[in-house]
Amino acid sequence: MSAPAMEEFLSRDIRLGQVTKDIIAPTERMPSNAWWLAFLASAGLLGVGVLVVFILLVRGQGIFGISHPYGWAFDITNFVFWIGIGHAGTLISAILFLLRQRWRTAINRSAEAMTIFAVMTAGIFPLLHTGRQWVAYWLVPLPNDRLLWVNFRSPLLWDVFAVSTYFTISLLFWYTGLVPDFATMRDKAKNFFRKKFYGALSLGWKGSMRDWNHYEKAYLLFAGMSTALVLSVHTVVSYDFATSIVPGWHTTIFPPYFVAGAIFSGFAMVVTLLVFMRTAFHLEHYITIRHMELMNKIILLTGMLVGYAYLTEFFIAWYSENPFERYVFVNRLTGPFSWAFYIMFFCNVAVPQVFWFKKMRTSIPVMFVISILVNVGMWFERFNIIVSSLHRDFLPSNWDNFVPTIYDFGWTIGAFGLFLTLFLLFVRIFPTVSIAEIKHTLPKPADTSKVGYHG
Partner 1 sequence: MAKHAAIIGVYSDPDILVEAADGARQKGWKNLDALTPYPIHGLDKALGIGASWVPWVTLVMGLSVPSSGSRSNTGCTSSSGP
Distance (Å, whole) CA 306 – CA 215:
37
User: Per CB under 8 A, does 214 bind partner 1?
Assistant: yes
Residue 70: phi and psi, rounded to 5, are: -95, 80
User: Per CB under 8 A, does 216 bind partner 1?
Assistant: yes
User: Per CB under 8 A, does 16 bind partner 1?
Assistant: yes
Distance (Å, whole) CA 414 – CA 52:
8
Calculate the alpha carbon distances from 213 to 208, 220, 438 in Å: 9, 11, 18
Question: Are the beta carbons of 13 and 448 closer than 8 angstroms?
Answer: no
Instruction: Using CB under 8 A, count the residues that bind partner 1.
Output: 33
**Which one of 260, 287, 367, 436 is in contact with partner 1 (CB under 8 A)?**
436
Is 131 or 207 the residue whose CB approaches partner 1 more closely?
Answer: 207
**Which one of 213, 320, 398, 401 is in contact with partner 1 (CB under 8 A)?**
213
Is 286 or 407 the residue whose CB approaches partner 1 more closely?
Answer: 286
Cis peptide before 323 (omega within 30 of 0): no
Over the window 180 to 199, marking each residue x when it contacts partner 1 by CB under 8 A and - when it does not, the resulting string is x---x---------------
User: Per CB under 8 A, does 5 bind partner 1?
Assistant: no
**Burial grade of 252 (CB within 10 A; 0-12, 13-18, 19 or more):** exposed
For residues 161-180, which are near partner 1 according to CB under 8 A? 180
**Which one of 33, 191, 208, 397 is in contact with partner 1 (CB under 8 A)?**
208
**Which one of 149, 318, 339, 356 is in contact with partner 1 (CB under 8 A)?**
149
HEC readout, 11-33: CCCCCHHHHHHHHHHHHHCCCCH
Listed in sequence order, the residues at least 6 apart from 132 whose beta carbon sits closer than 8 Å to its beta carbon are none
User: Per CB under 8 A, does 453 bind partner 1?
Assistant: yes
Listed in sequence order, the residues at least 6 apart from 448 whose beta carbon sits closer than 8 Å to its beta carbon are none
**Which one of 217, 279, 333, 401 is in contact with partner 1 (CB under 8 A)?**
217
User: Per CB under 8 A, does 153 bind partner 1?
Assistant: yes
**Burial grade of 433 (CB within 10 A; 0-12, 13-18, 19 or more):** buried
User: Per CB under 8 A, does 12 bind partner 1?
Assistant: no
Q: Could you tell me the smallest distance in angstroms from the CB atom of residue 403 to partner 1?
A: 39
Is 147 or 245 the residue whose CB approaches partner 1 more closely?
Answer: 147
User: Per CB under 8 A, does 221 bind partner 1?
Assistant: yes
User: Per CB under 8 A, does 147 bind partner 1?
Assistant: yes
Q: Could you tell me the smallest distance in angstroms from the CB atom of residue 451 to partner 1?
A: 6
Q: Could you tell me the smallest distance in angstroms from the CB atom of residue 112 to partner 1?
A: 18
Is 171 or 218 the residue whose CB approaches partner 1 more closely?
Answer: 218
Report helix, strand or coil for 37: helix
User: Per CB under 8 A, does 282 bind partner 1?
Assistant: no
* First-to-last C-alpha distance (Å) of the chain: 33
Distance (Å, whole) CA 412 – CA 416:
7
Residues within the interface to partner 1 (CB under 8 A): 16, 141, 143, 147, 149-153, 180, 184, 206-210, 212-218, 221, 435-437, 439-440, 448, 451, 453-454
